[in-house]
Structure 1
Amino acid sequence: MTLEPLALPATDDALAWVEGRTTDGLATARRLVDELRAAPPADALDALRQWDEVALQLGNVAAVGSLLSNVHPDEAVRTSCEQAEVEVDRLATELRQDRALYDVFAGLDASGLDEQAARLHGKVLDDFRRAGVDRDDATRARLAEINERLTAIDQEFGRNVRDDVRTVTAAAERYAGLPQDWLDAHPADADGNLTATTDYPDAVPVRMFAHDAGLRHDMSVAFLTRGYPQNEPLLQEMFALRHELATLVGYADWASYDAAVKMIGSGPAIPAFIDRIADAAAAPMERDLAVLMERYRRDHPDATEIPASDATYYQEVVRREQYDVDAQQVRRYFDFAQVRQGLLEVTGRLFGLRYEPVADAPVWHDDVTAYDVWEADGAAPFARIYLDLHPREGKYKHAAQFTLAEGVAGRQLPEGVLVCNFARGLMEHDHVVTLFHEFGHLVHHVLGGRGQWARFAGVATEWDFVEAPSQMLEEWAWDADILRSFATDEDGEPIPAALVERMRAADDYGKGIQARVQMFYAAMSYWFHTDRPADLTAAMKQMQARYSPFPYVEGTHMFASFGHLAGYSSAYYTYMWSLVIAKDLFSAFDPDDLFAPDVARRYRDRVLAPGGAKDAADLVADFLGRPYTFDAYAAWLAR
């Protein structure tokens, strides 16, 4: 049987299509569950297959809802998709709290199951217990209320950030320092003023290149107050509800509940890890800051600290003056269209894939491009991907991979969507790295989408591992030979290898600073959930003073747009935890031959393709031939 990708609707038909898909998917899931209750299969494998089909049906509704609520241009469609997510969460909670269903799975004879089926059985039972199936009726009802409200809060929080696009208007001369192509795209108005928004293609270059410190400060304040004040009470409620949920099912706090199903294992291990990284980064941070402060004092002789609104600009100055890396010169080599094509060629060669454009695929916006994914020597596509890479009104403001469909062998193709907000012309190299990073999630999703269980499809590993494959793929955006294959200027000249070498040295310069900033964010995500402070701004300032190299920008409230508080909750440490593993994974590759087929194929087959069929630590050990260690990360940070 040949599987076909999901047939997306034309824009005008999207609302009816979403509503119909939601109704049909939920009805199918309910029918399958009713059959399970009425006549549960005696065979454990049959029961698990039927339950996995329920999960697939619910996942299909939720995936479309999550994606289109963040990207569709029609507000009515976005609202309908948000409601679909609520309905899926409501039904999922109802099912996981159903004692009769739990008894079906608890009573199965699992002795004859293979390794993956036995793993699934254990996780299904754990899902029921974590949902409170063994609690009394009143407690289960309260847990259902909490889950439904948390979904609504998550959606409202994201909507507030998405819709709160602020602007900074100033005299055109104050934008001196910005790249010429940026200035050309932002003509002055009749009064001689230019306006920049807080969307990334404006906010990043203004903070990085504008010579005017006042303008940089104004943009920093605008950017760091998005979502405020409306999101503060939502966060307070979110933290309280998560804590209540965790304690109702027997955990000390939300972080302990959340960490129990992650590699880290326990809530108290999170601050211990944060402090371990902070301590390891202390000396590199001081080294970086000394260089930065020396340069800053040339312009500000009496300065005792570097304002956060000046940090990005002066780090660029250091890279330009001490490493001979001028980001505005570098970006000449990174035309968006060339980078996108280069990304496809690089990942295709690395993973043995090819991407064929699907010109007639229905999409939700003209900016979106669709590709079928083939094995390099395949006879038929096995996945479809969509790239939605430029900002627009009403669209998700960050960079992420969204699932459109989980892939299950013989049942449905994996489909994923890359949602980013890049400039249409020239890109900063940092954005090229981000594109490679996010594409790593997309590759993981499609390669991990050919197993037999929906539960283990795609990026289904422990959540504190999911960033590791993407962080490792960033290395391919730093290799001189690889970059020269697609990074060319307007005359067709490839980026010089010597420049790439200086770029890497310049990037290494700030890694101590970056590690400590990340630990500030990680501490905030953890302590907000465990302490639940009454004054989020005051608590944020305390953690910033403890971990970050830069002081608080007065009048700002960055937590209000810190989307990871909703998505990653107490586990923002994940990014650094994953980076430790990513550095160890990359140590298996030959830096002189990053396309070596033996190691690339082993990595693809043993780390990416299994999806969540094994514990992440076992996937890494299968690839490395040993357990992962802290050594590669520590050596990288120290050098």
Structure 2
Amino acid sequence: MKLHLLLFTTLLIGCSSAQKPEKLQMSADNPFNVSLNEPFDYAKVTGDHIESYVDAMIHNANIDFEKLKSTDKVSFESTFGAYDEISNSLGKAYSNAHMMYWVSTDSITRAKGLEGSQKIDSLFTDISSDRAIYNKFQAFVESEEGKTIQGPKKMLIERTLEEFAQSGVNLNPKDLATFKKLSLEIKELSAKFTTNMNTAQESLVLNEQEVDGLPENFKDTYRLEDGSYEIPVINATSSQIMNNATSSDVRKAYIVKKSNIAADQNLPILDSLISKRYQLAQIMGYKSYAEYNLQSKMAKTPKRVWNFLDNLVVESKSKALQEIDLLKSVRNEDKHTPDDKSSINPWDMGYYINQHLKIKYDVDYEKMRDYLPMDACLEGMMALYQELLGLEFKKVQNPSVWHEDVTMYEVYENDQLKGRFYLDLYPRPNKETWFYAVPLTSGRTFTNGQEVPVAMLLGNFNKPTENLPSLLSFGELNTLFHEFGHIVDCMSYNGDYSSLAYPKADFVEAMSQIFENWVDDYDIISAFAKHYETGDAFPKTLFESKLHAKNVFSGLSAQGTIRYALYDMNLYDSYNPNDPLNTDKLWQDLDAKMGTLNGYIEGTHPQASWIHINTHPVYTYGYLWSEVYAQDMFTAFKQNGLRDTETGMRYRQLILANGGQRDMVSAVEEFLGRPSNNKAYIENLGLK
């Protein structure tokens, strides 16, 4: 018989002291029942194991929360320290349950993973608005000890109190009940949105004529016995179709399918999410969900974000317009229509950009793939990160993992275990479809030792076949360097409290974006980029051509990213319940306002499969915001050398290891030896 342990615990706590509840112990054969820093036995995980793990963590956490609330003598360790320790255990259970929802091949395990993560999320909502806990926090803050706290402990106090404030702890009982109801509904809707995306199975069947222009290796991968080609509509195939297929009709058919993934189910869900998030913000006393959401970020206010984005629109518009004129001439030459002044179809943009780069700059991105097999890229990238950051990655043989494609590494420094990470790099049915670095354990100091961080890189790169290794495009190599930058960020955290493992959300991307710069250095790339058949090094002339062409279309690239950021901000800062947004029309309105791109395709709904506006609302601007810091920090490496270990170690110690233990602006200033500015960012965009 299964018990609803959260309710069960509450009932027990209400009983007499003679019936004091005891903590639960998981069975010895539960793969999640391990000692400190022992890896989970993922290969054996079932839905029942997840359920038992989650229920035990919730039951035990409730006992610990009651102890926190009933303590007579408040101290840092009995309040904020205890809260961080309890949150660490719950957070680890949440992350692993949700990860199994994203990656497991078993439907029951995925369902139990989602269910478990939602139960923990709901508990966090309840606890973060618990007035009794908050009062204990306030009692400590006002104590003599509390008034003298400095350093990371002070940052933990500030972050925890901010979390409680944002979770409705100061609301009256009626509004708090509504806040909790909305929070639960938002989580349930968000989960449905994600599930609909991940379970969609779209493909495009083409004949021999229709695959003209596609790389031979790509065609071989998807050729059927009858001579036709069935190409899955997934992230791993997108650039090869959109940049290379000769037929405009094929490109359109592909992008229409991709832009309509899960649309029937997810469009009404998105409308509900926007509305409910607005209602939640109103209860909290904010004008919009963006205003509520930004309180805990560096930007702080929607006005700062709007000004930031509007300035970038202006900075990039002139160059983008010139690039559009250039593409029209490329199109007209290709179609032999010299006087055609019409707009370029959205599905033709990538193709004509690629054509121009091949013809004018001798840049053939598909040819470059042959020099970028995944295994060699991984080996070379890891060698660089190890050299730069003073770490050692050791591949674990025969690890216990959730799928045969997954690999596992342990991270060492001077023979001391510093962390552990998993690589799950290739698409499969029902797996999360995007690219993420997923923290599983943040890292924390306990009385019996230091818990090391654990993370997983989730990717959807082209899977190797019997005849062909996984070959990366340069864009995918850039993505690999970026996401692995998040992994080393996780591995580098050096702090006592798991709640401080990460900086504010709109700085997080900077810590990995900086590593994308190494992809633009020939000495770095040529050390590992070898032809998968001949072993020849990446041709220097081809690499130099790529660098020469880097910013040819930087205006359009910037405008494209800004367009998504503006869409996100409009959803969550411009919502009017009396005149709800039409999320399709918003694309058209933005295109008209920006005056450069005409990116909307009639009858498509790309927002229905855009994960960020679902799980990370008011986040997209952060990629641009973070890039300002990333490019400025990279100037230290440009000055001292891209392989300079001393600079790399300083970066690791001052930035990566810091997390949220000190103000990141001051940490960046110490790393650079000066205040940060946006000069390197503007230069990197090629706008000046």
User: Which TM-score band applies after superposition, normalised by the shorter structure?
Assistant: over 0.9
Distance of 2:151 and 2:72 partners within structure 1 = 22
Question: Do the aligned residues in 2 keep the contact of 1:372 with 1:385 (CA within 8 Å)?
Answer: yes
Residue identity over aligned pairs, in percent, reads: 26
Q: Answer yes or no: is 1:485 the counterpart of 2:527.
A: yes
1:236 matched residue in structure 2: 271
Question: Counterparts of 2:347 and 2:292 in 1: how far apart (Å)?
Answer: 37
Q: Is the 8 A contact 1:258 1:267 kept in 2?
A: no
Select 2:512's aligned residue among 458, 463, 470: 470
Report what 2:364 is aligned to. 326
Deviations 1:360-385 (A, max 9, x none): 3210000000000112xx12321100
**TM-score, normalization: structure 2?**
0.89
Q: Distance in 2 between matches of 1:210 and 1:197?
A: 15
Deviates more, 1:289-298 or 1:251-260: 289-298
Structure 1 segment 487-526 matched on structure 2, within 5 A: 487-489=529-531, 490-526=533-569
Distance 1:305 1:567 in 2: 34
Q: CA deviation at 1:466?
A: 0.8
Distance in 2 (alpha carbons) for counterparts of 1:41 and 1:621: 40
The residue aligned with 1:202 is 237
* Partner Cα distance (2:417, 2:48) in 1: 29
Task: Tell me the distance in 1 between the aligned counterparts of 2:276 and 2:46.
Answer: 34
1:93 and 1:44 mapped to 2: Cα distance?
A: 22
Q: Write the mapping of 1:284-363 to structure 2, written as runs, cut at 5 A.
A: 284-300=319-335, 301=337, 302-363=340-401
Aligned-partner Cα distance in 1 for 2:626–2:69: 41
Counterparts in 2 of 1:58 and 1:3: CA distance versus 1, 3 Å: closer
Question: Residue 47 of structure 2 aligns to which amino acid in structure 1?
Answer: L
The two structures have a TM-score, normalised by structure 1, of 0.96
Q: Which amino acid aligns with 2:64?
A: L
Contact 1:45 1:117 survives alignment (8 Å): no
Distance 1:40-1:211 versus aligned 2 partners, 3 A rule: farther
Aligned position for 1:581: 629
Counterpart selection for 1:572 from 617, 620, 623: 620
- Aligned partner of 2:645 in structure 1 is 597
> Is 2:315 the counterpart of 1:280?
yes
- Corresponding residue number in structure 1 for 2:21: none
Q: Counterparts of 2:388 and 2:328 in 1: how far apart (Å)?
A: 41
2:430 equivalent in structure 1: 394
| Residue in 1 that maps onto 2:156 | 120
**Which stretch of the first structure deviates more once superposed, 527-536 or 210-219?**
527-536
Cα distance, 1:39 vs. partner?
A: 1.8
Matched residue SS, 1:229: helix
- Quick one: distance in 1 between partners of 2:363 and 2:159? 50
Q: Distance in 2 between matches of 1:142 and 1:400?
A: 32
Are 1:107 and 2:164 matched, yes or no?
no
Q: Which letter does structure 2 place at the counterpart of 1:432?
A: L
The 8 Å contact of residues 28 and 57 in structure 1, kept in 2 or not, is answered as: no
| Residue 126 of structure 1: how far off its partner (Å) | 1.8
Superposed counterparts of 1:242-261, under 5 Å:
242-261=277-296
Structure 2: any 5+ residue segments left out of the alignment?
A: 1-34, 465-469
Q: Distance in 1 between matches of 2:659 and 2:573?
A: 31
- CA drift of 1:591 comes to 6.3
> Counterparts in 2 of 1:158-197, with a 5 A limit?
158-190=194-226, 192-197=227-232
Distance 1:122 1:464 in 2: 18
Paired position in structure 1 for 2:503? 461
Which 10-residue stretch deviates more, 476-485 or 171-180?
171-180
Q: What CA distance in whole angstroms lies between the structure 2 residues aligned with 1:495 and 1:76? A: 46
Structure 1 CA distance, aligned partners of 2:126 and 2:236?
Answer: 43
Give, in angstroms, the shift of residue 284 of structure 1: 2.1
Please name the residue that 1:552 is paired with. 600
Q: Are 1:538 and 2:571 an aligned pair?
A: no
2:552 corresponds to which letter in structure 1?
Y
What is the Cα deviation at residue 3 of structure 1? 4.4
Q: Compared with structure 1, are the counterparts of its residues 592 and 122 closer, same or farther at alpha carbon in structure 2 (3 Å cutoff)? A: closer
Distance in 1 between residues matched to 2:442 and 2:658, nearest whole Å: 13
CA contact (8 A) 2:126 2:180 kept: yes
1:462–1:615 CA contact under 8 A, matched in 2: no
SS at match of 2:599: coil
Name the structure 2 match of 1:95.
Answer: 127
Partner residue of 2:99 out of 33, 51, 67: 67
Partner of residue 211, structure 1: 246
Whole-Å separation in 2 of the counterparts to 1:582 and 1:454: 24
1:351 deviates by: 1.0
The gaps in structure 1 that reach 5 residues or longer are none
What is the distance in 2 between the residues matched to 1:549 and 1:591?
37
Could you say which residue in structure 1 is the equivalent of 2:453? Answer: 414
Separation of aligned partners in 1, 2:230 and 2:195: 23
Cα pair 1:281 1:516 within 8 Å, conserved: yes
